[in-house]
Amino acid sequence: MPVIIDTEENTVIARLSGEVDHHTAKAIREDIDLAIDKHHPKQLILDFDGVTFMDSSGIGLVMGRYKIVKPYGGCVIIENTGNQIKKVMRLAGLDRLAVIR
């Protein structure tokens, strides 16, 4: 399972695991989008704690979800990123779209 989805009031938490690349991003994206569609969360939390590798496919993943939740007033929060992933996110300027904590 590349992603486990939990929902709380107004919040969808997507716990990602393993390697996030072009090959795995599609399934992760589909699972998260189903949850967004169903719950319209105010907050979408992407938890990277279990992620061992991420390339720019992960950036596309975050940007794509931001584009979905932003129009109805939702926000994206990124949690538990390791150094490697932070470097890629910083390069992409993701901190302008999402809260990274």
Chain positions contacting other proteins, by CB under 8 A: 19, 21-23, 25, 29, 53-57, 59-61, 63-64, 83-84, 87-88, 91-92
Least gap, CB of 56 to other proteins (angstroms): 4
Q: Measured between alpha carbons, how far is 49 from 17 in angstroms, rounded to an integer?
A: 7
Distances (CA, A) of 11 to 5, 21, 39, 71, 91: 10, 25, 8, 16, 27
Q: Which is nearer to other proteins, 6 or 21 (CB)?
A: 21
Query: What does the block give as tokens for 17?
Result: 């695991």
Nearer to other proteins, 23 or 38 (CB): 23
